[in-house]
Amino acid sequence: MSNRLGGMLGGAPVIVLKEGTDTSQGTPQLLSNIGACISIVSCVASTLGPRGMDKLIVNGRGDSTISNDGATILKLLEIVHPAAKTLVDIARAQDAEVGDGTTSVVLLAGEMLKECRAFIEEGVSPHTIIKGYRKAAQLATARIQELAVSIDRSDEAAFRDLLIKCAGTSMSSKLIVSQRPFFSRMVVDAVTTLDPNDLDESLIGVKKVPGGAMQDSLLVRGVAFKKTFAYAGFEQQPKSFTNPKVLCLNVELELKAEKDNAEVRINQVSEYQAIVDAEWQIIYSKLEAIVKTGAQVVLSKLPIGDLATQYFADRNIFCAGRVPTDDMKRVVQAVGGSVQSTTSDIAPQHLGTCGKFEEKQIGGERFNLFEDCSAARTCTMILRGGAEQFIAEVERSLHDAIMIVKRAMKNSTVVAGGGAIEMELSRHLREHARTISGKQQLIISAFAKSLECIPRQLADNAGFDATDILNKLRMTHAQGNKWDGVDIDSEDVRDNMAGFVWEPSVVKINALGSAAEAACLILSVDETIRNEESQPPGGQGQPGGQKLPPGAAQRALKQRGGVPRR
Please determine, for residue 311, whether its predicted confidence score (pLDDT) is greater than 70: yes
Q: What is the Cα–Cα distance from 358 to 365, expressed in whole angstroms?
A: 14
Rounded to 5 degrees, φ, ψ at 47 are -90, -5
Please determine, for residue 34, whether its predicted confidence score (pLDDT) is greater than 80: yes
Please determine, for residue 478, whether its predicted confidence score (pLDDT) is greater than 80: yes
pLDDT above 90 as % of the chain? 21
Confidence (pLDDT) at 128 = 93
Q: Hey, which residues are catalytic here?
A: 69, 102-103, 400
Contact 321, 229 (CB under 8 A): yes
Contact 357, 370 (CB under 8 A): yes
For residue range 3-31, what is the model confidence (pLDDT) as tens digits?
A: 444 444 455 565 565 655 555 677 888 88
CA-nearest of 272, 307, 268, 276 to 290 is: 307
Q: What is the set of domains in the chain, with CATH numbers?
A: 23-150+416-524 (1.10.560.10), 156-221+381-411 (3.30.260.10), 223-258+270-375 (3.50.7.10)
Averaged pLDDT of the chain = 83
255 compared with 396, residue with greater pLDDT:
396
CA-nearest of 484, 503, 480 to 494 is: 484
Cross-strand bridge partners of residue 24:
528
Q: What is the Cα–Cα distance from 560 to 247, expressed in whole angstroms?
A: 79
For residue range 480-539, what is the model confidence (pLDDT) as tens digits?
A: 888 999 988 888 888 888 888 888 888 899 999 999 999 999 998 887 777 765 444 444
